[in-house]
């Protein structure tokens, strides 16, 4: 899935920004959305993302249309349980079987590890009254139920200005998600929203790495048509000149905004000899390699250029 340059009126994609944000800022994610659970975790100890393990347990996760699901192994501060498995999902669409799926995933993970599993869900859809938080069944005195914690992002909509004042990264990320939904097919409004978020980031006294990562998240969320991307680029250059620092290099920005398209063009030219489809894939792979040279991870480059990450890890 490419999140770099979909057509202006296409459905927005939320997969890559949420995945990157959770992986980079998992302690902040838990503290922002689930503070009680966060307070029970020993953040001085390492935690582990178990994406491959989750896929092995529930292979249907790879083809589902939820935004992102994660399995994380954490260590607790106290109690008889040493390790805890956290299953979390960010769900972008209303689905009748969502609570049942949370139930199934919870017991499959428990069956695999024989350890407690805590389930959490971010409901990122626009249906205010859809708030599933439990699933179970009972018969003849036998009962099996899962209750899980949820956060409804639309509840934050009246508080976007407050979100942007917070030091937690997920204040900004939540605002970016909501603004993406609010500005779908409203390009000028989206341009203004994106420029506002970028200006705010440039004003923050955060370390460069954090600013660069969050700029990428914003870029993935609030996709603009070509003419507005160029206008935004000009404004960013002005901000960088004023700040006397380039947070995102021009090559990185061009790779995000234009590299995919150029790579496909290269691939089509090569495709005259190899076949158009194969040539396009070569062009995408070249874009992905250039992204890695500019500092993107193999996973990020593969997601942007829409190529298998294994091709980059083996090259």
* Arithmetic mean of pLDDT, 177-192: 95
How much is the pTM? Answer: 0.76
- Decide if pLDDT at 153 tops 80: yes
Does residue 174 fall inside a structural domain?
no
**Residue pLDDT, tens place only, 9-64:** 345 666 778 988 999 999 999 999 999 999 999 999 999 999 889 989 987 665 45
Does residue 184 fall inside a structural domain?
no
Does residue 286 fall inside a structural domain?
yes
Cα torsion angle, 240, 246, 247, 249, sign: positive
Does residue 292 fall inside a structural domain?
yes
Does residue 105 fall inside a structural domain?
yes
What's the mean per-residue pLDDT of the chain? 82
Domain final residue, candidates 107, 139, 155: 155
Does residue 212 fall inside a structural domain?
no
CB 84 within 8 A of CB 78: no
Does residue 207 fall inside a structural domain?
no
Q: ∠205-211-217 over CA atoms, to 5°?
A: 145
Angle between helices 26-33 and 169-182 (to 10 degrees): 70
Rg (CA), the chain: 21
Q: How far apart are CA 314 and CA 96, in angstroms?
A: 41
Residue 31 domain boundaries: 15-155
The reported pLDDT for the residue numbered 2 is 37
Among residues 159, 197, 168, the alpha carbon closest in space to that of 180 is found at 197
Q: How many domains does the chain have?
A: 2
**Residue pLDDT, tens place only, 81-104:** 678 999 999 998 899 999 999 999
Domain final residue, candidates 155, 174, 197: 155
Does residue 119 fall inside a structural domain?
yes
Q: Look at the block and give the residue holding tokens 């440039």.
A: 202
Determine how many CB atoms are found less than 10 A away from the CB of residue 212: 17
Domain final residue, candidates 125, 155, 185: 155
**Phi-psi label, residue 307: left if phi above 0, alpha if psi -120 to 50, beta otherwise:** beta
The reported pLDDT for the residue numbered 257 is 52
């Amino acid at each position: 899935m490419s999140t770099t340059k979909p057509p202006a009126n296409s459905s927005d994609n939320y997969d890559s920004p949420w995945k990157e944000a959770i992986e980079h800022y998992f302690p902040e994610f838990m503290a922002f959305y689930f503070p009680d659970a966060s307070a029970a975790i020993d953040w001085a100890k390492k935690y582990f993302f178990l994406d491959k393990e989750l896929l092995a347990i529930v292979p249907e996760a790879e083809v589902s249309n939820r935004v992102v699901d994660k399995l994380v192994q954490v260590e607790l501060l106290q109690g008889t349980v040493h390790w805890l498995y956290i299953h979390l999902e960010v769900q972008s669409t209303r689905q009748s079987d969502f609570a049942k799926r949370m139930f199934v995933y919870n017991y499959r993970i428990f069956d695999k590890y024989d350890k407690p599993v805590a389930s959490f869900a971010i409901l990122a859809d626009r249906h205010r009254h859809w708030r599933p938080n439990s699933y179970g069944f009972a018969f003849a005195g036998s009962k099996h139920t899962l209750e899980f914690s949820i956060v409804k992002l639309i509840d934050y909509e009246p508080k976007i200005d407050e979100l942007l004042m917070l030091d937690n990264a997920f204040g900004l990320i939540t605002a970016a998600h909501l603004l993406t939904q609010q500005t779908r097919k409203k390009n000028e409004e989206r341009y203004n929203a994106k420029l506002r978020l970028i200006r705010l980031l440039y004003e923050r006294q955060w370390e460069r790495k954090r600013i660069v990562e969050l700029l990428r998240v914003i870029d993935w969320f609030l996709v603009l048509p070509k003419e507005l991307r160029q206008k935004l680029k000009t404004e960013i250059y002005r901000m960088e000149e004023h700040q006397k620092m380039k947070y995102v290099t021009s090559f990185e920005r061009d790779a995000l905004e234009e590299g995919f398209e150029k790579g496909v063009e290269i691939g089509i030219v090569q495709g005259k000899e190899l076949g158009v489809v194969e040539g396009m894939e070569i062009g995408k792979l070249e874009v992905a390699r250039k992204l890695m040279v500019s500092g993107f991870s193999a996973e990020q480059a593969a997601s942007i250029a829409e190529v298998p990450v294994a091709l980059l890890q083996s090259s």
